[in-house]
Amino acid sequence: MFDFEKLEVYKRAKEFNSEISLLLTGNNIYRIAKDQLKRASLSIALNIAAGSSRFSKPDRKNFLVIADESLFECMAILDILGEEEVHAKV
């Protein structure tokens, strides 16, 4: 077992990625948004894992910042898709 697999934040990132995958399955979301959301959600866990292998604190922090940015990207995509869904129903 790798050290990052023990991290709660990594476990939660994997859960988030699984939830995004379930959301995208069968949903009628346009391809570009679907691809970007999947990549960004996967990037969260990957950057946490990659950062855990770094020896210096600044290097580790850089990867965690990137993971955080990917999470915000996911939230923005979900927000935009939610707004589009609301407008489509009106």
In a domain, 17, yes or no: no
| Residue among 2, 3, 9 nearest 64 (CA) | 9
Cα(7)–Cα(78) distance, integer angstroms: 26
Q: Is the pLDDT of residue 85 over 80?
A: no
- 66 three-state secondary structure: helix
Task: Give the number of domains in the chain.
Answer: 1
Angle between helices 8-24 and 57-89 (to 10 degrees): 30
The domain of 81 spans: 30-90
In a domain, 4, yes or no: no
Q: Is the pLDDT of residue 90 over 60?
A: no
Average pLDDT in the 72-81 region?
96
The 10s digit of each residue's pLDDT in 13-62 is 999 999 999 999 988 888 999 999 999 999 999 999 999 999 999 999 99
In a domain, 24, yes or no: no
pTM for the structure as a whole: 0.89
Q: Are 38 and 24 in contact (CB under 8 A)?
A: yes
Q: Are 71 and 44 in contact (CB under 8 A)?
A: yes
